[in-house]
Amino acid sequence: MAGFEKISIKDLTKSFSDTNGKRNLIFEKVSFELHSGAVLRLSGASGSGKTTFMNVMSGLIKPDSGSVLFGNIDITNLSEGKKDRFRAENIGYIFQTFNLLSPFSVIENVYAPLAFAGRLPQNYKDKALESLDKVGMKEFAAKKPYHLSVGQKQRVAVARVLFADPPLVFADEPTASLDRSSSELVKNTLLELNKKGTTLVLTSHDSIFDDVKPDIDFNLETGVLS
Ligand SMILES: Nc1ncnc2c1ncn2[C@@H]1O[C@H](COP(=O)(O)OP(=O)(O)OP(=O)(O)O)[C@@H](O)[C@H]1O
Ligand SMILES: [Mg+2]
Among 50, 58, 172, 221, residue to substitute to test ligand 1 (most atoms within 8 Å of Cβ): 50
Among 163, 174, 223, residue whose Cα is nearest residue 201: 174
Instruction: Give the other-Cβ count within 10 Å of 93's Cβ.
Output: 23
Q: Is 87 exposed, middle or buried (0-12, 13-18, 19+ CB in 10 A)?
A: buried
Distance separating alpha carbons of residues 117 and 89, to the nearest angstrom:
8
Sign of CA dihedral 53, 34, 73, 187: negative
d(CA 111, CA 163): 7
- Pocket mutation for ligand 1, best pick of 18, 27, 52 (most atoms within 8 Å of C-beta): 52
The ligand placed nearest to the CA atom of residue 218 is: 1
Residue type, position 207, single letter = S
* Ligand 1 midpoint to CA 218 (Å): 16
**Residue 22 CB partners (closer than 8 Å, separation 6+):** none
Question: Looking at the CA of 47, which ligand is closest?
Answer: 1
The pLDDT score that the predictor gives to residue 38 is: 97
**Which pLDDT tens digit goes with each residue over 9-62?**
999 999 999 888 899 999 999 999 999 999 999 999 999 999 999 999 999 999
Confidence of residue 3 (pLDDT cuts 50, 70, 90): low
Q: Whole-model pTM?
A: 0.93
Q: What is the pLDDT of residue 177?
A: 85
Question: Does 90 have pLDDT greater than 70?
Answer: yes
Give per-residue pLDDT as tens, 117-134.
Answer: 899 999 999 999 999 999
Q: What percent of the chain has pLDDT over 70?
A: 99
**What are the pLDDT digits (tens) for 139-182?**
999 999 999 998 899 999 999 999 999 999 999 999 988 889 88
Q: What's the mean per-residue pLDDT of the chain? A: 94
Structural domains of the chain sorted by starting position, each given as residue range(s) with its CATH number in brackets: 37-59+81-219 (3.40.50.300)
Q: How far is the CA of 144 from the centre of ligand 2 (A)?
A: 25
Residue 48, ligand 1, Cβ within 6 A: yes
Nearest-CA residue for atom 29 of ligand 1? 47
Q: Does the Cβ of 152 fall within 6 Å of ligand 1? A: no
In short, whether 47's Cβ falls inside 6 Å of ligand 1 is yes
Which residues have a Cβ under 8 Å from the Cβ of 111 and sit 6 or more positions away? 120, 124, 125, 127, 128, 163
The answer to whether residues 130 and 53 touch, using CB atoms and an 8 Å cutoff, is no
Is residue 99 very low, low, confident or very high in pLDDT (cuts 50, 70, 90)? confident
Q: Give the confidence band of 4 by pLDDT, cuts at 50, 70, 90.
A: confident
pLDDT over threshold 60, residue 1: no
The residue whose CA is least distant from atom 28 of ligand 1 is 47
Q: How many residues are there in the chain? A: 226
Query: pLDDT for 52-74, tens place per residue?
Result: 999 999 999 999 999 999 999 99
